[in-house]
Amino acid sequence: MMSRKIKTVEDANAFFNPLIQHCHDPFLMDEMDLAVKRIQQAKEQDQRIRIYGDYDVDGTTSVSVVYDFLKSRFKNIDYYIPDRDSEGYGISEHSIDDAIDKKVELVIALDCGVRSVELIAKAKKEGIDFIVCDHHLPGPELPPTVAMLNPKKGNCTYPFKELSGCGIGWKLVQALCVFWDLPDEAYLQYLDKVAVSIASDLVELTGENRVLAAAGIQRLENRPSRGLQMIVDRFIRNQNKDARLDIMKIVFMIGPRINAAGRLGDAKVAVRLLLAENEEEAESLAGQLNELNKERRGLDSHTTKEALEILKRDKDYPTKYSTVVAKDDWHKGVVGIVASRLLEQHYKPTIVLTKSGDQLVGSARSIKGFDIHEALVNCKEHLLQFGGHKYAAGMRLKASQFEPFEKTFDNYAKSVLKPDDLIPVLQYDAEIGLNLISDKFHSILQRFAPFGPGNLQPLFMSSEVWDTGNARTMGSGHEHLRMNLISVECNRPISAIAFNMGSFFDPVSKGKPFSILYHIEQNHFNGKTSLQLLIQDIKFR
Give 22-64 pLDDT, tens digit per residue: 999 999 999 999 999 999 999 999 999 999 999 999 999 999 9
CB-based contacts of 254, cutoff 8 Å, min separation 6: 196, 199, 200, 228, 231, 232, 235, 236
For the chain, the straight-line distance linking the first and the last C-alpha, in angstroms and rounded, comes to 31
Phi, psi of 390 (to 5 degrees): -65, -40
Q: Kindly list the domain boundaries of the chain, sorted by start residue.
A: 23-286, 314-422, 430-540
Say whether pLDDT at 80 is over 50: yes
Q: Are 366 and 392 in contact (CB under 8 A)?
A: yes
CA distance 394 to 372: 10
Question: Quick one: pLDDT band at residue 476, thresholds 50, 70, 90?
Answer: confident
Helix (H) or strand (E) holding 387: strand 385-388
pLDDT value at 76 more than 70: yes
Other C-beta atoms within 10 Å of 21: how many? 6
Q: Is the confidence at residue 208, as pLDDT, over 80?
A: yes
- Is the N-terminal amide bond of 450 cis, ω within 30° of 0? yes
- Report domain 314-422's class: alpha beta
φ, ψ at 108 (rounded to 5°): -105, 105
Instruction: Report pLDDT for 5.
Output: 64
DSSP category for residue 254? I
What b/e readout covers 118-153, taking b as 16+ CB neighbours within 10 angstroms? Answer: ebbebbeeeebbbbbbbbbbbeeebbebbbbbbbbb
H helices, E strands: number in the chain = 19, 17
User: Residue 3's pLDDT is what?
Assistant: 59
For the entire predicted model, the pTM comes to 0.90
Cβ neighbours of residue 209 under 8 Å, at least 6 residues apart? 160, 162, 163, 164, 167, 198, 203, 454
Q: What angle do CA 488, 497, 250 make, to 5 degrees?
A: 130
Residues 6+ apart with CB under 8 A from 179: 36, 40
User: In this predicted structure, what is the pLDDT of residue 17?
Assistant: 83
- 88-97, 505-514, 523-532: which has the minimum mean pLDDT? 523-532
pLDDT tens column, 324-350? 999 999 999 999 999 999 999 999 999
- The pLDDT assigned to 2 comes to 46
Amino acid at 332: K
Which H or E run includes 212? helix 207-222
Report whether pLDDT(460) > 50: yes
Q: Tell which phi-psi region holds residue 248, choosing left (phi > 0), alpha (psi between -120 and 50) or beta.
A: alpha
Mean pLDDT of 278-283: 95
Predicted local distance difference test score (pLDDT) of residue 143? 97
Nearest to 224 by CA among 391, 409, 64: 64
Per residue in 1-14, pLDDT (tens digit) is: 545 667 777 777 77
Third-level CATH fold of 430-540 = OB fold (Dihydrolipoamide Acetyltransferase, E2P) (2.40.50)
Q: Are 364 and 350 in contact (CB under 8 A)?
A: yes
Angle at CA 501, nearest 5°, toward 500 and 507? Answer: 165
Q: What is the pLDDT of residues 359-411, one digit of tens each?
A: 999 999 999 999 999 999 999 999 998 888 888 899 999 999 999 999 999 99
Residue 231 pLDDT exceeds 80? yes
Q: Looking at domain 23-286, which of 3.40.640.10, 3.90.1150.10, 3.90.1640.30, 1.10.645.10 is its CATH number?
A: 3.90.1640.30
Provide the 8-state DSSP code for 482. E
Question: CA–CA distance from 540 to each of 368, 479, 506, 509, 537 (Å)?
Answer: 26, 19, 12, 13, 10
What is the rounded average pLDDT of the residues 190-195? Answer: 98
Q: Are residues 235 and 257 in contact, defined by beta-carbon separation less than 8 angstroms?
A: yes
Strand partners, 325: 352
User: How high is the mean pLDDT of the chain?
Assistant: 94
